Chain A
Amino acid sequence: MIISADTGGTFTDFVYVKDGKFKILKVLSTPDNPAKAVLKGKSMIAPDNLEELIHGSTVATNAVLERKGAKTAIIMNRGFEDIIEIGRQNRPELYNLFVKRPEHLVKAPLRFGVPGRVSKSGEIIEPFDFDEAKKVAGQLNDLKVESVAICFLFSFVNPVHELAMRDVIHEICEGPIACSLSHEIMPEFREFERCSTTVVNAYVQPIMKNYIGNLEKNIGDKNLVIMQSNGGRISSTTASKEPVRTILSGPAGGAVGAFEISKQTGYDKIISFDMGGTSTDVSLINGQLPINVESTVSNYPLKVPMIEIHTVGAGGGSIAYVDKGGALKVGPLSAGADPGPICYGIGNEITVTDANLYLGRLIPEQFLGGTMPLAKTRLERYFSNLSEQTGLSKVKLAEGICDIANTVMEKAIRVISVDRGYDPSEFTLCSFGGAGGMHACFLADLLNIPRILIPKDPGILSAKGMLLADCIRDYSKTIMVDYPIPKETLNDEFQELRKKAISDLSLEGIAPNDIFIDQFVDMRYKGQSYELIVEYGDDIRNTFDQVHEKRYGYSNKDKACEIVNVRIRAYGKNEKPDLDKQKQSNTAVDNDAFIFTKDCVFDGLVVATKVIDRSKLQFGNQLTGPLIIVEYSSTIVIPPSRTVRVDAYGNLIVGKKNGGF
């Protein structure tokens, strides 16, 4: 049995395939030791026949966010010890007189410098001082340091000093000290970003190793696979060495899930839209998973490739209020799970969820399968108050709250589409997450997106994505050369990365013939200081100009350019489970599917709206809005302007009433 397990704040979701169908299990999470929930689910699904457990863990992310990582030191060139604190010198907020950086992962007494300097060409311009290095190692011992980040300038050109430092530590230090070397973790230029990535790795490494070790003890070390933030999976051995690659992997699972499901349905250009309680994640997938190297966690840049996901503070729990200037604001403050929206019974601030309920778009009887009552009567008083404050009718207010949340999410989608040179109307909006279905159609209208796909089981898409993910490893190196350079030189650089990839992936158990490698170069016009990732081919110059034109609206064929990094992505393709497709299409909707009809508000008008049970819908069913489609973990609102059909896998495809799908 192959199982995926995705640890979330409230539930740990499990997905597995049985008899050609996805099966789902939800187990309450155990935040003190997330492994408990994982093991519980595993023993419920596959007590003794586990082949593989693919795990999306939040252990590394939480260790950073909660500052609960290992006691970590940093060793840099002497005179550069504080780079991790100085960062890029800018402050996170412009108009804040009391600006403070977040608490540092490595504080001043644990930052060390050792003389020794390499130039940009790799030449040693100041010798490494072994005596000083030994002194530092001695201090690590005395201070009982658990993990060390070693980051020397230009180590990606010549790593000799980082390696020497590691050897000295291994020679001198008594206890086991984990060493993260910057040229291994992220061999690219820009010292702060490289250092930051290395420090985050060092900070979480012992924690992750311990966590994985604990799981392996229970299920066997061959059987555990970990989800990374680049959208690929990796063996637990690799993940415990480079845990930085697992940070923010939860949303990555969602994007992979959205992409795989959409591809299956026939759409490979999608915008994934995952609206939860406190925030919304969006990602633009144009035929392949979008990768960026500009993520941050708690203000620390991470330059490892991750699926490009943009997050905004708008969710079902976002609070609505009137600010001092008289504008109606929604979020980013959220009522969260505690106290939660007013209708959950305790909260006393109006949230987006409350507004949806007020408009009749949430069905109290059906919420979480009817297991959680919603206190609709509590809303009246709060809506009356806010209505008096704003001079707006209660209905207008409720619709306004939804509209504002939609505008905030629209802005997020513009950032990843329009700002990058893509027209959102050419994409399918793939909506999931608890609150996504209530907003997807309205959001699509704002962005002129004709088609919306709502996958089956939208609440566990992230776990599904993990089950479907390929094994992926990324490699890169700064070479900083003027274009053109002889093909052989570039091929030599690629060859070096390929060799490493093939050797690493064979350790992952992938046969050389099953390994696929994509090659890229990071290029820029000479003088620019941002690079674009370009697929390597015969005419990279031309490709670069085109990518630049697409992304930034102009290109300059005559301008000299340079190759900053070489980059490869190595895959071991995962065999996708063979899924049952419903064969018999049936246009007639089963009578059981209609639960009842109720009044809902659309565009200020009260409209009689059918409430539909999603589990009773079948392949080929076609329905016209207005509709509310309910299922266990989500509610889908189809306004009067839209129609919906069910595909052979049970996904919902929403189109325009007059425009087809």
Chain B
Amino acid sequence: MVDPIKLEIFKNKFSAIAEEMGVTLNRTAFSPNIKERRDYSCAIFNASGDMVNQAAHIPVHLGSMPMSVKAAIQNVSINPGDMIILNDPFKGGTHLPDVTIVAPVFTKEDSTQPLFYVANRAHHADIGGMSAGSMPLSRSIYQEGLIIPALKIMKNYQIDEDVLSLILSNVRTKIERQGDFAAQFMANKIGIRRISELIEKNSQETVVLYSKALMEYSEKIMRKTLKIIPNGLYLFEDYLDSDGVDDEKIKIKVGVEIKEDQAIIDFTGSSKQIQGSVNAVYAITASACLYVFRALVKENIPANAGCMSPLTIITQPGSIVDATYPAAVAGGNVETSQRIVDCVLGALSQAVPEKIPAASQGTMNNFTIGGIKSDSGQAFAYYETMGGGTGASLREDGENAIQSHMTNTLNTPVEAIEYEYPFRITNYAIRHNSGGNGLHKGGNGLIREFTLLNDAECTMLSERRKFSPYGLFGGENGKAGNNLLICKDKQIKQLPGKFSLFLKKGDKLRIETPGGGGFKKAQ
């Protein structure tokens, strides 16, 4: 019998383990992308690969981690001391830079069938491919970097140097990668150790019983949350600006049907998958939907398989929200995921207007700079995402210059950049008056200007440069974002939302991120 006291205690224990894995990964990783920007997630899974608890890290990993773990355990036979590495977006991955490492937790008595799994996923600043930073304007997945199917990277507690060497030979910044992988192994080891201790202190049966109870717990609360939303079918559609190859807009259409304590989220009618890199694999669409519904829950529930049970997601394979091999997907994770959230929120705002804000910036403004340092001859690769405005709501104005929805990564300090990389930030400020007007105003976007001290390749993957973040109930749209090149000779060029350019020392790139939508008409 599940007892409410133990339920709460195990909730604390499991979340402490996932959090400790995160602390370990964060502290031991080498790259700023993981340490400073905290672009990673850690979670615990049961024997069939269902998620028991994910620490509150990156939402886009929410629905996708379990699919990676299932792919890993279905494709590889696993023994004590093994770890599996994978990043294949068509097997539960999101995009190639997100590399997942899965490890089994065996009991002392049984070394044939793992009782739990632990896994962590970290965004590596480079995983090879056609451009530094591995967030290219690609047309197929082959251009985006090294595809790692589920492979054993650790066998019987030893790193498989062959596999590691193959991976490292395909990336631009080997030492950094090596350090980050070591941190990922360490995080899993901590997870294994803690779960083993938990099993030792309690019994195996109890730990398994409460891991299941936690899923039921989250499911119960999710269903109660859905029950409050009026039954009905709510439709919404919005667009992505382009795929970076041609200028065609891309439609995302959603019908959210609430039936008592469940929701059917149907993306039928969305555009077909496209040439460029903003295709989202199913795992991303699932994560985005899960994020929205998880955010409607007021309680601090464990993010796990139970949250997903009341949701049915319908997609057409080969569409923009369920891309199939070998589609280019680098940007689907970061950009399309945001638009999917906008669409699902837009639909729900018709059902529960008081619970849903207008559109937030709807992009992550993924920016990479890479090249060779002219003084030392060393390669460098830098990646960052930029915050923007959030949408206003019935309660209040939106927030300025902050990360929204599917990401919550930190910026890299201006002074840290200048110590490390051959470029300088020459403007970093709130983009005033960019939030949509309304009874409540949308939050403002931000301005970030990069001045190159070295020739470099710059790649931008940004959205909401044409279709601006929507306002609601008469509130105006937020201002669309804007990318500008200010050449050394002061000439200003308008750049598209997605570009990849070789720029010269002295050139400046000025990025202005979108504002959030307003709520209700201004009085």
- A: residues with CB less than 8 A from B are 79-83, 85-86, 88-91, 94-101, 108, 119-120, 153-154, 189-193, 322-330, 390, 392, 396-397, 400, 403-404, 407-408, 411, 414, 418-419, 480, 525, 527-530, 551-554, 556, 559
Contacts and interface: CB of A to CB of B under 8 A. Distances in A.
A654 B87 CA distance: 53
Given A97-B393, A527-B176, A552-B28, A91 B357 contact: no
B299 A189 contact: no
B400 A98 contact: no
B4 A322 contact: yes
A191 B413 contact: yes
B165 interface: no
Interface in B362-404: 386-387, 390, 393, 395-396, 399-404
Contacts of B299: 323-325
Nearest to A446: B201
Contacts of A154: 415, 418
A403 B5 contact: yes
A101 B443 CA distance: 12
A90 B16 contact: no
Contacts of A525: 30, 179
A325 B428 contact: no
Interface centre among A407, A408, A419, A529 (most CB of B within 10 A): A529
A480 B417 CA distance: 13
Interface stretch (B113-121, B217-225, B264-272, B479-487): B217-225
B401 A328 contact: no
Contact of A89 (B218, B356, B401): B401
26 contacts: A79-B427, A79-B428, A80-B427, A86-B400, A86-B411, A86-B430, A90-B409, A91-B403, A95-B295, A97-B357, A98-B396, A99-B399, A101-B402, A120-B419, A193-B413, A323-B221, A324-B221, A325-B218, A326-B4, A397-B5, A404-B12, A527-B31, A529-B35, A530-B27, A553-B28, A554-B28
Interface in B4-19: 4-5, 7-9, 11-13, 16
B27 A551 contact: yes
Interface in B319-348: 345
Nearest to B180: A527
Given A79-B428, A407-B9, A419-B23, A527 B30 contact: yes
B416 interface: yes
Interface residues of B, number: 78
A80 to B, nearest CB: 6
Given A189-B419, A327-B4, A327-B217, A79 B426 contact: yes
Interface of B: 2-5, 7-9, 11-13, 16, 20, 23-24, 27-32, 35-36, 38, 56-57, 59, 175-176, 179, 182, 186, 189-190, 217-218, 220-221, 224, 291, 294-297, 299, 301, 345, 355-357, 386-387, 390, 393, 395-396, 399-404, 408-411, 413-416, 418-419, 426-430, 446, 449
Given A327-B4, A327-B8, A554-B186, A88 B175 contact: no
B414 A89 contact: no
A89 B410 contact: yes
A529 B36 contact: yes
A80 B428 contact: yes
Contacts of A554: 28, 182, 186
Contacts of A528: 29-30, 35
Contacts of A100: 396, 399
Given A418-B20, A525-B30, A527-B30, A86 B415 contact: no
B186 A407 contact: no
B60 to A, nearest CB: 11
A407 to B, nearest CB: 5
A118 B419 CA distance: 13
A658 B220 CA distance: 46
Nearest to A126: B426
B217 A91 contact: no
A85 B221 contact: no
B182 A529 contact: no
Contacts of A418: 20
A81 B13 CA distance: 43
A556 B35 CA distance: 18
A480 B419 contact: yes
A99 B446 CA distance: 17
A119 B425 CA distance: 11
Contacts of B408: 90-91, 94
6 closest residue pairs by CB, A with B: A400-B5, A79-B427, A325-B217, A89-B387, A328-B4, A88-B410
Contacts of A329: 8
Given A325-B217, A326-B7, A328-B7, A189 B413 contact: yes
Contacts of B3: 392, 400
Nearest to A156: B415
B416 A90 contact: no
Contacts of B189: 553
Contacts, number: 191
Contact of B295 (A97, A108, A551): A97
Interface centre among A99, A403, A411, A418 (most CB of B within 10 A): A99
Contacts of B446: 82, 86
Nearest to B397: A100
Interface centre among A324, A397, A525, A559 (most CB of B within 10 A): A324
Contacts of B9: 403-404, 407
Interface centre among A81, A95, A525, A527 (most CB of B within 10 A): A95
A547 B186 CA distance: 17
A290 to B, nearest CB: 16
Interface centre among A328, A419, A528 (most CB of B within 10 A): A528
Contacts of A322: 4
A85 B411 CA distance: 13
A358 B413 CA distance: 53
Nearest to A386: B4
Contacts of A408: 12
A416 B53 CA distance: 22
Nearest to B6: A400
Nearest to B386: A89
Contacts of B11: 327
A199 B328 CA distance: 46
Contacts of B387: 86, 89
B295 A96 contact: yes
A220 B510 CA distance: 57
Nearest to A193: B413
A101 B5 contact: no
B104 to A, nearest CB: 20
A190 B4 contact: no
A556 B30 CA distance: 12
Contact of B27 (A81, A90, A101, A552): A552
B35 A530 contact: yes
A90 B409 CA distance: 6
B396 to A, nearest CB: 7
Nearest to B390: A99
B220 A396 contact: no
B418 A120 contact: yes
B36 A326 contact: no
A115 to B, nearest CB: 11
Contacts of B38: 90
A189 B12 CA distance: 36
A30 B9 CA distance: 40
A419 to B, nearest CB: 5
Given A95-B56, A189-B419, A324-B224, A88 B411 contact: yes
A78 B402 CA distance: 21
B7 A327 contact: yes
Nearest to B7: A327
A390 B414 CA distance: 53
Contacts of B179: 525, 527, 556, 559
Contact of A414 (B16, B182, B413, B429): B16
A82 B429 contact: yes
A330 B419 CA distance: 46
Nearest to A411: B16
A91 B409 contact: no
